[in-house]
Amino acid sequence: MPLFLDRHDVPGANAVQIADAHKLDLELQDKYHVRYVTYWYDDRNGAVFCLAEGPDRDALSAVHREAHGLVADNLIEVGEGPINAFLGERPNFAPGEPYVAPGVRVILFTDICDSTSQTALLGDEGFMAVLRTHDQLVRSALEQHAGREVKHTGDGIMASFTSVASALDTAIAVQQALRTRDGGDDQQLRVRIGISVGEPVTDHDDLFGTTVQLSARLCSVAAPGGIAVSNAVRELCAGKHFEFHAPTDHELKGFAEPVPVYEVRF
């Protein structure tokens, strides 16, 4: 059956109330041929995300409506691979057991600068050697800092994190490794990195739609060898060991207003 992810705005709710509502869903789910897999309750943002299998959206909504009346504010169909890549290991808890888990995820993009001209200069085989070096460095940093590779973009990697600090540590580790990397001018490898943060369901009816788009746009305007982040990322790093240059406003494709972009000092 299809897999769905929904989002509920529940300001003022607590973990016990959410656990009780989830237990009611489980008691009613067979009536509508639905299976609730798990949920994430983000108490900081007053949001609940439910992951469930079912024949269609109407069946999932019917369970929520009859069980407790908390119908989802947003409901999308997702694939098993993408949801695991974005959200990571699913919470494991007994039905009715209160618990809290953040729903926010951090998205990081890398992009090899001038990949087209490098391919023309080095040839396919030469550029593939550069790409393999990039992939090895990024994947090693992801493993060290609890990041998850979502997909390879051809000349970069898209990754997901539960921690802003882990995402920044990964980005800095990659850029520092590239700075100390041996290689001649014909093998020069410079990478841009962009990082944004957001919730898994957006008003655009797409998993991480706006967050992914912003992260990709930040990557495109980052300086070669640099790390560009959104204001939300900078704010969530308050009190941590990271430093940022003064922001510059950028006109980013898909965003109506200029976006303040912060470059990370490292």
Region 6-34 average pLDDT: 95
> Tens digits of per-residue pLDDT, 36-69?
999 999 888 889 999 999 999 999 999 999 999 9
CATH architecture of 3-87: 2-Layer Sandwich (3.30)
Is the pLDDT assigned to residue 103 strictly greater than 80? no
Mean of per-residue pLDDT scores for the chain: 90
> Tens digits of per-residue pLDDT, 231-264?
999 999 988 999 999 999 999 998 999 999 999 9
Is the pLDDT assigned to residue 19 strictly greater than 60? yes
Domain boundaries, the chain: 3-87, 105-265
Q: Which fold has domain 105-265?
A: Alpha-Beta Plaits (3.30.70)
Is the pLDDT assigned to residue 139 strictly greater than 90? yes
> Tens digits of per-residue pLDDT, 161-204?
989 999 999 999 999 999 887 554 445 789 999 999 987 665 55
> What is the C-alpha separation between 43 and 55, in angstroms, rounded?
30
Assess whether the region 3-87 and the region 105-265 belong to the same CATH fold.
yes
Of residues 38 and 84, more confidently modeled:
38
